[in-house]
Amino acid sequence: MQKNFDRNNRRIFNYPAVVPCQDVNPVTLVSSLIALSNAIIAHQHKFFATQRRNARESIRQVSILNMFFVEVMEKNSIAEFPDSAVLCFSELHHSLQKLLFLLEDVTRNGSRVYILMKSHFVATQFSNLIRSIATTLDILDFKVFDLSREIKELVEMIAKQARKANIQVDPDDEYAMKRVMLILNQFENRFEPDSIMIKRVLYYLRISTWSDCHNEIKFLDDEICSENNNKERDIHLLSTLAGFMRYCRGVLFENNLVEYNENQLVERGNLEILSCLNPEDFRCPISLELMTDPVTVSTGQTYDRVSIQKWLKSGNLICPKTGEKLASTELVPNVNLRKVIQQYCIDHGVPISKFHKQSRDISSTILPGSPAAAEAIKFLSEYLVRRLRNGTVKQKSKAAYEIRLLAKSNIYNRFCLIQAGVIPSLLKLLSSSEATVQENAIAGLLKLSKHPNGKKVIINHDGLKKIVEVLENGLKLEAKQIAAATIFYLSSEHYKNKQSNSETFLNSSKAPIVTMVLELIRTSNSSLQ
């Protein structure tokens, strides 16, 4: 009776409820109503960070309806129900499906701050569904059923209560929502909010650990990235809250990084290595296909020869990726990258045609999404720089790890971190005797090297030598592999700055570096089989 789909992947406030067909079997319909109402009642044991009163009232009414459905099933000849009764039950089924979806949304992992800020909308949804149930019960003729007096009175009572139900935002939710709005307004006006005020809001929502905060960010990011999200207001709100929660995770939960342990870092490191050293990162920005003959243009960007030649022959004299005017149309073969791509494909048995699919586009993250989010990330970036410079070894490692997360797939975050000055401090951490500190630092540099400004800062601070040092003598295999990936992203910048000291160093070390990189790829491949 209920639509079969992955409930975990359903977008929030998207209710794919279905109305039962006209010739539905009444027995099947009532059985489904019992199962549906039981699923709703089960939510009484779940934690509601917000909408507690509305959820409790809705569940109470459905629990009475559940008794009604059970008695209808046990004491009546359902097959003889009139069409009007079947129609009413179908409408109830449709409303209860939506109510179940709404309860799932309100208790969804990571959605607490978003649900709080949508309190008025959610309360309206509860009100509409309860009134819809009341309307259906008004139409339903109870005389056609053999019901006990007690059940009949209870159902009539909830129908009457539902008609008069005063579903509204809980005063405590309203107060917490106004506090969040004040905090976001302070961010927007470039004023760092009082941490005590923020902690009170987080306590109200029971966001009490680094993990809780991280789940909120993950949910918000998933909603922002959703292809179906075309509501500008929601995108603005989601972006604002994501920036706010990132600030909270990095500043307020610094000492509550519950996932921060060696085993999980190794697992994350392996995943990052796979994402850094695979054909997804060897695509041509023009064709989005695996490059078979990579060449570098005067802006330092690398393209597949066939694609960039076609671009130039069309009369285009600007770099497709950066928009900069090309100083010349000379195409410099990127021999190192070509060797690595070829070796990777050989070691992994990768057919080039398999990867002729479009990669995930993060170009939309070049802007912060909202003024409040922009300032929150700036404040966080400055805080992390202070930790890298003056913190304890543990604080420095945690700051590097936070940078690693922030820069993972967000261009604006990378820009803010680079502007705040994190790169020189991360380069210093590469010489740390702590393996975790070194790995977090090189992983952060890898993410930042994907930004044009990041490449320049790393090279200007003689960072290539330090990264090659990690490649040669890193404390962990994961750190060496990430260092190899970082060199790939930096290599294009050297073609643009051929007179730099780093370029001279790279040229003198080219053969050994390529050999080490290829060996690391083979090692990674064998260790993952």
When mean pLDDT is compared across 151-165, 409-423, 429-443, the lowest value belongs to: 151-165
pLDDT of residue 233: 61
Residue with more model confidence, 14 or 522: 14
3-state DSSP assignment of residue 349 = coil
Here the tokens at position 293 are: 């003959």
Q: What is the pLDDT of residue 23?
A: 79
pLDDT band of residue 527 (cuts 50, 70, 90) is very low
Q: What would the mean pLDDT of 373-384 be, rounded to a whole number?
A: 96
Q: Report residue 419 CA to chain centroid gap.
A: 24
Burial call 243-264: b when 16+ CB within 10 Å, e when fewer: bbbbbbbbbbbbeebeeeeeee
What does 251-278 look like in DSSP terms, one character per residue?
A: IITTT--TT-SHHHHHHHHHHHHHHHSS
Question: Distance between CA atoms of 347 and 230, rounded to whole angstroms?
Answer: 42
**Is the pLDDT higher at 261 or at 395?**
395
pLDDT at site 90: 92
Instruction: For tokens 């940078």, name the residue.
Output: 403
* pLDDT at site 240: 95
Q: How many CB atoms lie within 10 A of CB 70?
A: 16
Which one of 47-61, 139-153, 228-242, 506-520 scores highest in mean pLDDT?
47-61
Q: What is the pTM of this model?
A: 0.76
Per-residue pLDDT at 182 exceeds 50: yes
- Cα separation, 358 vs 364, in Å, equals 16
- Alpha-carbon span 253 to 226, nearest angstrom: 28
Q: Report d(CA 143, CA 264) in Å as an integer.
A: 63
What share of the chain has pLDDT > 70, as a percent?
81
Q: What was the pLDDT predicted at 518? A: 53
DSSP designation for 250: I
- Would you place residue 515 in the very low, low, confident or very high pLDDT band (cuts 50, 70, 90)? low
1-5, 106-110, 260-264, 305-309: which is most confident:
106-110
Supply the DSSP string of 180-205, one letter for each residue: HHHHHHHHHTT-PPPHHHHHHHHHHT
User: Tokens standing for 390?
Assistant: 């003056």
- The structure tokens listed for 110 are 């990571």
Band the pLDDT of 104: cuts 50, 70, 90: very high
C-alpha 375/C-alpha 416 separation (Å) is: 10
- In angstroms, rounded to a whole number, what is the distance separating the alpha carbons of residues 509 and 482? 18
- Residue 340 confidence (pLDDT): 79
CB 364 within 8 A of CB 355: no
| Percentages of the chain per state (helix, strand, coil), in multiples of 5 | 70, 0, 30
Angle between helix 171-188 and 195-204 (nearest 10)? 140
CATH 3.30.40.10 positions along the chain are 284-355
Q: Which fold has domain 363-527?
A: Leucine-rich Repeat Variant (1.25.10)
Measured CA distances, 335 to 151, 231, 343, 405, 501 (Å): 80, 45, 12, 31, 20
CATH topology of domain 284-355: Herpes Virus-1 (3.30.40)
CATH 1.25.10.10 residue ranges for the chain:
363-527
Q: Is-contact 36 96, C-beta < 8 A?
A: yes
